[in-house]
Amino acid sequence: MHRECCRRLLDLSRSQDRLIEENDYDELLAVLGKKQQVLDQIAKFEEHRPRIKSMWKSLRGQLDDTLRGRCESLLDETAADLEELVRQEHRSSREIERRRAGTQQELRNLDQGERVQAAYRDSLAPVTHRRLDVGQ
């Protein structure tokens, strides 16, 4: 189960990265919700981790080489998936931060442009709002 959850989490993280690139934030929110569900499942597993780890230590020596090798292979694959997941999450976080900083800069530029436009408009107001009174 833990292996399946780790694999699912990695797949969702890859989808997350793709959705960030595509600016599909509605679907991104759905993926984040799915990731939270998987993380909740992993948290339930983690409650039993000490007992499982203890059982593994005592049973490991009783398994035949083939089965023990398969179990250790699954553990290694899970560890590799978790390492990739961490890298994937760091990439996604950096990309989101980069985009957030870019958006903040764009907003500052817009605000500055609006202030310049307002100042320019205000400086011309006396001239552009003069009226010709043909009765005088």
Letter for the amino acid at 13? S
pLDDT digits (tens, 9 = 90+) for 5-37: 999 999 999 999 999 999 999 999 999 999 999
Q: Which domain holds residue 7?
A: 1-51+73-94
Cα 28 to Cα 108: distance, rounded to the nearest angstrom: 26
The per-residue pLDDT for 55 is: 85
The per-residue pLDDT for 133 is: 55
- Residue at 126 is within a domain: no
pLDDT digits (tens, 9 = 90+) for 105-130: 888 888 787 776 766 666 665 555 55
Q: How many distinct structural domains can be found in the chain? A: 1
User: How many angstroms from the chain centroid is the CA of residue 74?
Assistant: 27
Residue that wins the pLDDT comparison between 9 and 51: 9
Q: Which residues touch 14 (CB under 8 Å, ≥6 apart)?
A: 88
- Residue at 87 is within a domain: yes
> What pTM was computed for the model?
0.65
